């Protein structure tokens, strides 16, 4: 295990996103911080996903996703989608993007993506996704991963 003295890894900045996935009639969404742009042309995003997640099954089978950008006041949304559970979309307003993946109405913005390919990354897989569409939905500043504290329980994976 690597050392993480004084939260060294926490100085790598990330936003907080809800990744909407779809395979046929099955839909789900999960919170992710490990998301970044990796190409201009074509426009590509990389999403690092734990292959043990239910959402990974839908992403792998369906091949599409949305990246929903959370705002500063949406810690509760990050926590909700950061847990596994039945029908996590219930209680949220959402609609289908052009790929069919779910867009959260409450998010600041979304990007609609199709998976291009995967890369192995230790205990995660990187889904490299082509951005096909997207829109700004609300004004506001994006939530930052460091503001979520230990919401994802990741502290246990670092030796401090
Ligand atoms: C703030 C935060 C950031 C997270 N970032 C990621 C991430 O980048 N990749 C990932 O695979 N899981 C990440 N997770 C964990 C998943 O959201 C969590 O395991 C979720 O339960 C998976 O949903 P599912 O079981 O419905 O598929 C994060 C959780 C939180 C709270």
Neighbours of 124 (CB within 10 A): 17
| Residue 32 CA, ligand 1 centroid: distance in Å | 5
Domains of the chain (ranges, CATH numbers): 15-148 (2.30.110.10)
The pick from 23, 53, 88 for probing ligand 1's pocket by mutation, whose C-beta has the most ligand atoms within 8 angstroms, reads 53
Q: Could you tell me the pTM of the whole model?
A: 0.97
Task: Please indicate whether residue 74, judged by its CB atom, sits closer than 6 Å to ligand 1.
Answer: no
Q: Which two tokens stand for residue 86?
A: 């039945």
Q: How far apart are CA 133 and CA 154, in angstroms?
A: 32
Q: Measure 104 CA to ligand 1 centroid, in angstroms.
A: 16
pLDDT digits (tens, 9 = 90+) for 83-123: 999 999 999 999 999 999 999 999 999 999 999 999 999 99
Q: Which atom of ligand 1 is nearest to the CA of 151?
A: 31
């Amino acid at each position: 295990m690597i050392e993480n003295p004084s939260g060294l890894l926490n100085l790598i900045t990330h936003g907080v996103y809800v990744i909407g996935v779809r395979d046929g009639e099955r839909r789900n969404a999960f919170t992710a911080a490990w998301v970044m742009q990796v190409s201009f042309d074509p426009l590509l995003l990389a999403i690092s996903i734990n292959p043990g997640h239910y959402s990974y099954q839908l992403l792998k089978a369906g091949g599409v996703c949305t990246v929903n950008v959370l705002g500063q006041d949406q810690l509760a949304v990050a926590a909700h989608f950061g847990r596994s559970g039945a029908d996590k979309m219930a209680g949220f307003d959402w609609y289908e993007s052009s790929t069919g993946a779910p867009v959260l109405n409450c998010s600041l913005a979304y990007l609609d993506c199709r998976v291009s390919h995967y890369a192995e990354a230790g205990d995660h897989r990187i889904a490299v996704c082509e951005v096909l569409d997207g829109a700004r939905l609300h004004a506001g500043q994006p939530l930052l991963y460091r503001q979520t504290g230990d919401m994802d329980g990741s502290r246990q994976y670092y030796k401090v």
